[in-house]
Structure 1
Amino acid sequence: MSAARGEVAVTGLGLLTPAGNDPQTVWKTMSAGRSMARTDPSLQGLPVAVSCPVTGFDPDEELGRRLARRMDRFAHLAIAAGRRAVADAGLDIGGRTAGRIGVVLGVSSNSVYTYVTEFTRLGQGQPTRVSPLALTRSVPSMVAGEVAIDLGAKGPNFTVSSACASGTTALAVARDLLLSGACDVVLAGGSDSGRAPMNVTCFHQMRALTSGTPRPELACRPFDTARDGFVLGEGAAVLVLERLSHARARDARVRARLRGSGASADAHHPFAPHPQGAGAEQAVRQALADAACAPADIGHINAHGTATRAGDTAEALALLRVFNANPPPVTAPKSIVGHALGAAGAIEAALTVLALEHQEVPPTANLFCQDPGAEMDIVTTRPRTHGFDLALSTSFGFGGQNAALVFATA
C-alpha cells in the first residue's frame, strides 16, 4: 500500500537493549558511540566469549517470579518491552477496543536456552524429566501470545520469522493490518536473545562471528577493512503503531510515521547474500516507492551493517546503486548494541524514530579504516546534527531475506 492510502503513526516505543532500557538512555548511549560488547562469563570455554547483553533488567522482579519461570529470556524481554511501549503511548487496552488491538512480533532464535536442557534429558533416556512447559516456551507464536495475555490485546496475534529481518518484517505486516482496516492499533516489533551458547557455537562454526580482540568493545567493526564478523546481542523493541487518524482522535503523541516498506528474497544461497546486493536493492527500492518518495528525499540510513565481509559489501553496493553513489548519512548500530537477530530490525526501527525526533544521526563505533568498496558518508565519533524528514532502515537475513522501512517525521 502506498502512503497515499493512509498514514501510520508511531505513538509508543518500548525498548530493552544493551544500550539501555528506555528511549532516553538508549539515545544517550548511542550518541556516545561506544560499543556495549564485553566478555560474557556465560560463554566461558567457547571459541567466542564476547556478547552485548541487556543489563539492569531482572525478570523475576519486573514480571514476577511465577510469570518469569514459565518463559525463556526472549519472552521476558518482549513482555517488558510491550509494557513500556503501551505506557509510552498512553494506550488504554480494555473493553470493546481490545479486539481491535493486534500483536505482531518478529523472532528468529526462539528457546535455545531451554531446549539444550530438555533435549539433553530426552537424549539421556529421561523423557519424564522433560518440562511440561518446554513446548509453550518454544512455539514461536507464544511470544506474541504471551504479550497479548499480559496486556489484554485481543486482535490478530502472531509472530513472523524472516531470520535477522524478522523485526522489520513484523512492522511491515503490522502496517498492512492497519491500512487494511483489520486493526486500529498494533503492537509490533521483535524480541530475541542471541547470546545462548548454542547460537554462539553455530554462528562461530559458520564463521559469521568476530574472532574477538583483547578489547571486546573493539570487536564489531561494520564497513571497516579489518571487520571479521558480528557480536551477538539480545533485546526487544515494541512500537505502538496506529492509523494517524486514530492517534489524533485519542490525542496521542505522534513520534514518527511509518511511510513505506519493501521486501524481497535473494533466491541465491542459504546464508550468503547476493554478492551484488541485488535483493537488498530491490527491497529498498520497493520501500521508497511504497513511501512515494525518491532516493534524494531520504536524509538518513540506518544500515544493517553486521560487520561480515560479504554482508557489508553487498549492502554497500546496493545502497550506492539506489542512491546514485551518494547515500545520505549512514549509521550502523550493531557496532554498539551487537546483533540481536530477530529483534535487530525492530530495535533499529526504534533508533530511526529517535534519530528523526532528535534530528541527529548517531555515530558508528569502531570504524577506523573505511572499506574503499563502501564509500558512503558513514557517521563516526560523534552524533551529527542533520535536518531530515525521511529515513530508511534496512534489514537482511539468512535465506536471502531482505526488508526495508521508510520513516517520516511526525
Structure 2
Amino acid sequence: MQGAGHRIAITGYGVVAPCGVGKEAFWKGLLGPGFTGSRSIELQDWDPLPYFDSPKDARRSDRCEQFALAAADEAIAQSGTLPYDPSRIGTIFGTGIGGLRTLEEQVIVRVEKGERRVSPFLVPMMMSNASGAAISMRYGFQGPAETVCTACAASTHAIGNAARLIAWGRCDAVVTGGSESAATITALAGFANMTALSSTLVSKPFDATRDGFIMGEGAAVFVLERLDMAVARGAHIVAEIVGAASNADAHHITAPSPGGVGATRCMQLALEDAGLQSSDIKQINAHGTSTPLNDSAEAQAITAVFGDRSVPVVSIKGVTGHPLGAAGALEAAAVLLSIEKSLIPP
C-alpha cells in the first residue's frame, strides 16, 4: 500500500462453503461440476457442534455466526497463536444481512405462539456485528472490532480495511473476512420478485444466456499480520496484500453504473495503491454474479482497465452460488488456493 509504513501478510485462512467445509474440501468443490436445480445452494448436514463448547451455545448462535466461527477456527489453527498485545489485534468482519434466519424464524414464532415465546437471544443473534464480535470474544482480541455491512462488497471491504489498520500501524494483526446465511423463504421471494434469481435455476457467470444468480451461503476468514512480525515469529506466509480500494458509482441501489465506470475506477485505484500496472496482473477474480447487468458492466470495466490482454477471468459462483456479503471472502480464498495449487479453477 503506497505510503504506508508496513507490509501485510496473510498467515492463515479458513473456509465454509456449500461445496466444501475446510480449504481442501472447498478446493475440491471448486474443481467439480456446477450446481443446478434450485434457487439456493446451502450446506447440507451442517453440524456446528464441533465449533462450540456446548449444544446450548450453538443454539444461541445464528447460522451466519456459526459459519464465521468455524472458518476462524481453521484460519487461526493455520496461523498459530498470535503472540501480540491483544489490544493490537483487531477483528474487521463483513456481512450483507447478518442473522436473517433467526429473525425470520422468530417472526414465525411470534405469529404462531405469541410474543412471550420469542427468544430473548433474538437481538444478539440477528445483529449484523454478531459474527465479528463472536470471533473477537472467543479469542480475546481487544483491538478494533468493527463490522462492514455493504451488501455484496462487505467482506471485500472488510479485508481492505483490515489491511489498512496494519499498514498504517494501528494493529499488528487483524482477523477479517465475511459470513452469510440468508437464503430464507422470504429473502428468496424478495430476490425472485426483483428478477435477480435465475429462472432456469443455473448460475452461469458471463454466459450469453445467463438470467440471474442462485443464492449461496458460507464464510471465509483470514489472519492478517505485519509481514516483518510474521516472519520474525516464523509464521508461514500464504500471500501478501499489496493494495486495495473502494468507491461508489452513485448510480442505483442494485444495478451497476452503465459501462462499469465505477468498477473501472475502483480497479485503477487498487492498482495505484499497490504500485502496479495492469500488465502485472495475471488473474482476475470477478464478482460474476450471473445477472445480465452485473456481468456486462464488469466485463466492460475489465476491458477498460486491462485492454485486449488475455488475462484469465474467473467467477466461482457457478459452484458456490452468490453468498451475498461473504462473496468477496470466498473469492479471496479461491485466489489463495489458486496460488498455492498453481491452478485456476474452471
TM-score range, shorter chain: over 0.9
Q: What is the match of residue 294 of structure 1? A: 277
Residue 340 (structure 2) aligned to one of 357, 366, 385: 357
Q: What is the match of residue 200 of structure 2? A: 212
Deviations 1:168-201 (A, max 9, x none): 0000010011112111111100000132222211
Q: CA deviation at 1:31?
A: 2.6
Deviations 1:19-65 (A, max 9, x none): 21122222222233x11x355xxxxxxxxx43222246301343231
For 2:205 and 2:36, the matched residues in 1 are separated by: 17
Q: Give % identity.
A: 38
The one-letter amino acid paired with 2:103 is Y
Residue 132 (structure 2) aligned to one of 144, 165, 175: 144
TM-score normalised according to structure 1 size: 0.80
Q: CA deviation at 1:120?
A: 3.9
RMSD: 1.8
Q: Which moved more, 1:264-273 or 1:167-176?
A: 264-273
For 2:133 and 2:253, the matched residues in 1 are separated by: 29
Q: How does 1:246-395 map to 2 (within 5 A)?
A: 246-363=229-346
Q: CA deviation at 1:122?
A: 4.6
Q: What is the match of residue 191 of structure 1? A: 179
For 1:325 and 1:127, the matched residues in 2 are separated by: 60
Q: What is the match of residue 391 of structure 1? A: none
Residue 53 (structure 1) aligned to one of 22, 42, 49: 42
TM-score normalised according to structure 2 size: 0.95
Q: How does 1:87-98 map to 2 (within 5 A)?
A: 87-92=77-82, 97-98=85-86
For 1:359 and 1:291, the matched residues in 2 are separated by: 22
Change (3 A) 1:3 1:231: farther
Contact 2:41 2:215 (C-alpha < 8 Å) held by counterparts? yes
Q: What is the match of residue 168 of structure 2? A: 180
Q: CA deviation at 1:236?
A: 0.4
Q: Which moved more, 1:248-257 or 1:322-331?
A: 322-331
Q: What is the match of residue 69 of structure 1? A: 59
5+ long unaligned stretches in structure 2: none
Change (3 A) 1:327 1:304: farther
Residue 130 (structure 1) aligned to one of 106, 110, 118: 118
SS of residue in 1 equivalent to 2:206? coil
The one-letter amino acid paired with 2:222 is L
Q: CA deviation at 1:86?
A: 0.2
Deviations 1:95-120 (A, max 9, x none): x6322211111011222112123334
Deviations 1:227-272 (A, max 9, x none): 0111111000001001101111110000111111011111011211
Contact 1:112 1:198 (C-alpha < 8 Å) held by counterparts? no
Q: CA deviation at 1:324?
A: 1.4
SS of residue in 1 equivalent to 2:68? helix
5+ long unaligned stretches in structure 1: 40-48, 214-218, 364-410
For 1:331 and 1:224, the matched residues in 2 are separated by: 12
Q: How does 1:222-261 map to 2 (within 5 A)?
A: 222-261=205-244
Higher strand share: 1
For 2:99 and 2:127, the matched residues in 1 are separated by: 8
Contact 2:11 2:239 (C-alpha < 8 Å) held by counterparts? yes
Q: Which moved more, 1:317-326 or 1:52-61?
A: 52-61
SS of residue in 2 equivalent to 1:261? coil
SS of residue in 2 equivalent to 1:166? helix
Contact 1:106 1:166 (C-alpha < 8 Å) held by counterparts? yes
Contact 1:191 1:235 (C-alpha < 8 Å) held by counterparts? yes
For 2:152 and 2:176, the matched residues in 1 are separated by: 15
SS of residue in 2 equivalent to 1:171? helix
Q: Which moved more, 1:136-145 or 1:169-178?
A: 136-145
Moved over 6 A (4+): none
Contact 1:231 1:339 (C-alpha < 8 Å) held by counterparts? yes
For 2:39 and 2:330, the matched residues in 1 are separated by: 20
For 1:260 and 1:278, the matched residues in 2 are separated by: 20
The one-letter amino acid paired with 2:55 is R
Q: What is the match of residue 6 of structure 1? A: 6
Contact 2:271 2:277 (C-alpha < 8 Å) held by counterparts? yes
SS of residue in 1 equivalent to 2:210? coil
For 1:261 and 1:91, the matched residues in 2 are separated by: 26
For 2:118 and 2:112, the matched residues in 1 are separated by: 11
Contact 1:278 1:318 (C-alpha < 8 Å) held by counterparts? yes
